[in-house]
Chains A and B, each alone.
Chain A
Amino acid sequence: MKSPLERALRVFWLLLMVFLYAPLVVVVLFSFNSINSSARFAGFSLEWYQRLFSNDVILSALANTALLAVMSTLIAVVIGALLGYGLYRYRARRMAWLIWLIYLPVIMPDIVFGISEMTFFITLERLFGVLSPGLGTMVIAHVTFQVPFVALLIHARLLALDPQLFEAAQDLYARPWQRLRFFLVPVLWPAIMASVLLALTLSIDDFVISFFTAGPDSTTLPIYVWSAIKKGITPEVNAIATLMIGSVFVVALISLLLRRRSLTGRHLQ
């Protein structure tokens, strides 16, 4: 017999899963609806997906989202990995608090961070005539919140390594660039891949900061969805949401697997 507490916990668990996943299931289901309704499912159809892929505004939003995600991720992973390595290499100087210094704005409410970034970019533009709102400002904003996550992942991986490995590479005739090419990058590879995927999901997910730093021609999918919803939820929006759910789910899954590998020290051969 299960105790009443155990049964109550089980019910709580089920409710939690329902409220987490039922909305996603509804969105996915209605994206395949054959009629324009979010209340009644009339039959299966791919009509809304066809419309979606013939809508130039949506396609450009999709392209912006992808471009923003890839550019910001590439920059953030390079900077974040260097930062993570630097903090490890010079750990005797006890500067790990630096990571928290750049992490702090990120755990601040997005809306505060977004408005601050916007104000900052507008000021820069007014004073120096550079950085008008657009993909450029969005990339900078995204890099700022991606970098600490990358740095933390790389730093954690380095701390988990046997420090004698670095000396073994030196002892075995590896010159500085050879240590990077044949030791550091391969040994960090799982953490680098996990960082890439995490940075991608962070960028694709982001609405608030993107919204405040975007320009007229740099609408991303989340921003498009938000403005479309003001006119009412259409199955088309459901279709976009379904595509985003699918892509984020896949990326997050791969990232989780890689992170688990990198933490247990197992590697891709």
Chain B
Amino acid sequence: MGAQRPDRGRDKASVVVRGVSRVFPGDLRALDRISLEIHAGEFFTLLGPSGCGKTTLLRLLAGLEVPDAGEVEIGGRAMAGVPAHRRSVNTVFQSYALFPHRNVRQNIAFGLEMQRVSPAAIARQVDEIAELIDIGALLERPVDALSGGQRQRVALARALVNEPAVLLLDEPLSALDAGLRSRLQVDLKRLQQRLGMTFVFVTHDQEEAMVMSDRIAVLDEGRIAQVGSPQAIYERPEDVFVARFMGHENLLAVTRHDAGGVETALGRFEGGFAAGTHLLLRPEALTLHADAPPGSSGNGFLARVEECLYRGAATDYRLRCGEVPIAARVTNAGRSQPGVGDTIWVEVAPDSAATLNARRHTG
């Protein structure tokens, strides 16, 4: 019955989203003219706070939601009018959504059964995927006897066994505890690299997004704030929203900008900065000195240590320069560190600061 089956994704597929809008009356989850290009074989993450529209966008790709405007293409094929059950796209749901009336094997087999694959082929493919995901021992168990991590793996196997062109993952790790979560992040990333499949991953956790993704799209109230590699998003956020969402605290209003540098409440910083409303200082790119070192670039300021938070590999410092609070992170490499109450010189390395705008995508 091969002719009955939707196009199977043995070839990894790209995803194109063009001007897609989705409006829910009286609801925040709307999408506003989103355009995106997700490359074939890429681990792509939709990152944003709850209500930013990331899950809605994922559901539009799955066909569980229909756009009010714009178009979606998967593997070069327009998806308008193609219902969810005819799309070669599978989803790992946030709740996992394992069928309670079926055991693990029957859950994984569901998609193949619906496509009328022969029972012998189903059994073989289920065994293969179970071995790949390392859940062979669970196959005959009822799903209500599984732990959270096991459910997550079964949900992943149930989607992957269909060899979809694109795998969609809707916050699949958010229900798990921290240790298991970081282990599965690595597992999932390795699996994606091994399969070379296009993964579209939704999360609200910026660290998770950075660890796992090839590229990240940061969403803010139904619009794309920035798309780029984890490094680009973290080190060169394009607006204050992205910077804050990526965990940055040191954002100084720019009072004057010229070819030689910018002026802020902490004084003047030399360098060829692009025009922008704010200056970002990355906490791990600041160095702390007892005195201004000789030969200092002059890009620095005096600050008082208010708090030291020892984290093992690094120490987080809460500093204050006049009225301005500054966060710094220093790697613990055995040298003596300043203590609370000390007045110190904070040196800003030339490439550790960048200017950005209040909000890039207005109007």
Q: Do A and B come from one complex?
A: yes
Q: Which residues of A contact B (CB under 8 A)?
A: 161-162, 164-165, 167-175, 178, 182-183, 186-187, 189, 265-267, 269
Bound form: Cα–Cα A183–B90 in Å:
17
Q: B35 at interface (Cβ–Cβ under 8 A)?
A: no
Which residues of the partner chain A approach B5 to less than 8 Å between Cβ atoms? 173
Asked if B85 and A175 make an inter-chain contact with CB atoms under 8 angstroms apart, the answer reads yes
Known A187-B100, A267-B100; contact A164-B94, beta-carbon cutoff 8 A: yes
Bound form: Cα–Cα A171–B88 in Å:
9
Asked if A187 and B83 make an inter-chain contact with CB atoms under 8 angstroms apart, the answer reads no
Asked if B110 and A170 make an inter-chain contact with CB atoms under 8 angstroms apart, the answer reads no
Bound form: Cα–Cα A183–B110 in Å:
10
Q: Give which listed residue, B83, B89, B99, contacts A165 with CB less than 8 A.
A: B99
Give the interface SS of chain A, mostly helix, strand, loop or mixed. helix
Bound form: Cα–Cα A124–B314 in Å:
87
Asked if B99 and A173 make an inter-chain contact with CB atoms under 8 angstroms apart, the answer reads no
Asked if A175 and B95 make an inter-chain contact with CB atoms under 8 angstroms apart, the answer reads no
Pull 22 A–B residue pairs with CB atoms less than 8 Å apart, ordered by A. Answer: A164-B97, A165-B100, A167-B62, A168-B99, A169-B110, A170-B63, A170-B83, A171-B85, A171-B91, A172-B90, A172-B110, A173-B85, A173-B115, A173-B162, A182-B113, A186-B102, A187-B101, A189-B101, A265-B100, A265-B144, A266-B144, A269-B103
Q: B327 at interface (Cβ–Cβ under 8 A)?
A: no
The number of residue pairs between A and B whose CB atoms lie closer than 8 Å in the complex comes to 74
Bound form: Cα–Cα A189–B100 in Å:
12
CB contacts under 8 Å to A, within B5-38, are 5-6
Q: B93 at interface (Cβ–Cβ under 8 A)?
A: yes
Interface centre among A167, A175, A178 (most CB of B within 10 A): A167
Asked if B114 and A172 make an inter-chain contact with CB atoms under 8 angstroms apart, the answer reads yes
Q: Give which listed residue, B93, B110, B113, B144, contacts A164 with CB less than 8 A.
A: B93
Asked if B162 and A172 make an inter-chain contact with CB atoms under 8 angstroms apart, the answer reads yes
Asked if A171 and B62 make an inter-chain contact with CB atoms under 8 angstroms apart, the answer reads yes
Which residues of the partner chain A approach B113 to less than 8 Å between Cβ atoms? 182
Nearest B residue to A166, CB-CB:
B97
Q: B158 at interface (Cβ–Cβ under 8 A)?
A: yes
Nearest B residue to A266, CB-CB:
B144
Nearest A residue to B110, CB-CB:
A172
Q: Chain A nearest CB: distance from B312 CB in Å?
A: 39
Asked if A182 and B110 make an inter-chain contact with CB atoms under 8 angstroms apart, the answer reads yes
For the A-B complex with A182-B114, A269-B103 known, give 19 more contacts whose Cβ atoms are closer than 8 Å.
A161-B100, A162-B97, A164-B93, A165-B99, A167-B93, A168-B93, A169-B110, A171-B63, A171-B64, A171-B91, A172-B162, A173-B6, A173-B114, A174-B114, A175-B114, A186-B101, A186-B102, A189-B101, A266-B144
Which residues of the partner chain B approach A187 to less than 8 Å between Cβ atoms? 99-101
Which residues of the partner chain B approach A269 to less than 8 Å between Cβ atoms? 103, 142
Bound form: Cα–Cα A173–B99 in Å:
14
Q: Give which listed residue, A161, A165, A174, contacts B85 with CB less than 8 A.
A: A174
Bound form: Cα–Cα A171–B5 in Å:
13
Q: Chain B nearest CB: distance from A26 CB in Å?
A: 45
Q: B84 at interface (Cβ–Cβ under 8 A)?
A: yes
Interface centre among B84, B97, B115 (most CB of A within 10 A): B97
Known A170-B64, A187-B101, A266-B144; contact A162-B95, beta-carbon cutoff 8 A: yes
Which residues of the partner chain B approach A186 to less than 8 Å between Cβ atoms? 101-102
Q: B149 at interface (Cβ–Cβ under 8 A)?
A: no
Q: B111 at interface (Cβ–Cβ under 8 A)?
A: yes
Q: Chain A nearest CB: distance from B143 CB in Å?
A: 10
CB contacts under 8 Å to A, within B102-119, are 102-103, 110-111, 113-115
Q: Chain A nearest CB: distance from B167 CB in Å?
A: 11
Bound form: Cα–Cα A25–B83 in Å:
61
Which residues of the partner chain B approach A161 to less than 8 Å between Cβ atoms? 100
Which residues of the partner chain A approach B64 to less than 8 Å between Cβ atoms? 167, 170-171
Which residues of the partner chain A approach B84 to less than 8 Å between Cβ atoms? 167, 170-171
Q: Chain B nearest CB: distance from A261 CB in Å?
A: 11
5 closest Cβ contacts across the A-B interface? A172-B111, A164-B97, A168-B97, A170-B84, A173-B114
Which residues of the partner chain B approach A171 to less than 8 Å between Cβ atoms? 62-64, 84-85, 89-91, 159
Which residues of the partner chain A approach B6 to less than 8 Å between Cβ atoms? 173
Bound form: Cα–Cα A189–B114 in Å:
20
Which residues of the partner chain A approach B85 to less than 8 Å between Cβ atoms? 170-175
Bound form: Cα–Cα A169–B63 in Å:
12
Bound form: Cα–Cα A158–B362 in Å:
43
Nearest B residue to A189, CB-CB:
B101
CB contacts under 8 Å to A, within B54-111, are 62-64, 83-86, 89-91, 93-95, 97, 99-103, 110-111
Q: Chain B nearest CB: distance from A161 CB in Å?
A: 8
Bound form: Cα–Cα A167–B113 in Å:
17
Which residues of the partner chain A approach B103 to less than 8 Å between Cβ atoms? 269
Which residues of the partner chain A approach B100 to less than 8 Å between Cβ atoms? 161, 165, 187, 265, 267
Nearest A residue to B115, CB-CB:
A173
Which residues of the partner chain A approach B159 to less than 8 Å between Cβ atoms? 171
Nearest A residue to B103, CB-CB:
A269
CB contacts under 8 Å to A, within B131-184, are 142, 144, 158-159, 162
Interface centre among B6, B62, B111 (most CB of A within 10 A): B111
Asked if A173 and B93 make an inter-chain contact with CB atoms under 8 angstroms apart, the answer reads no
Which residues of the partner chain A approach B86 to less than 8 Å between Cβ atoms? 173
Which residues of the partner chain B approach A175 to less than 8 Å between Cβ atoms? 85, 114
Q: Chain A nearest CB: distance from B92 CB in Å?
A: 10
Which residues of the partner chain B approach A172 to less than 8 Å between Cβ atoms? 85, 90, 110-111, 114, 158, 162
Bound form: Cα–Cα A118–B315 in Å:
85
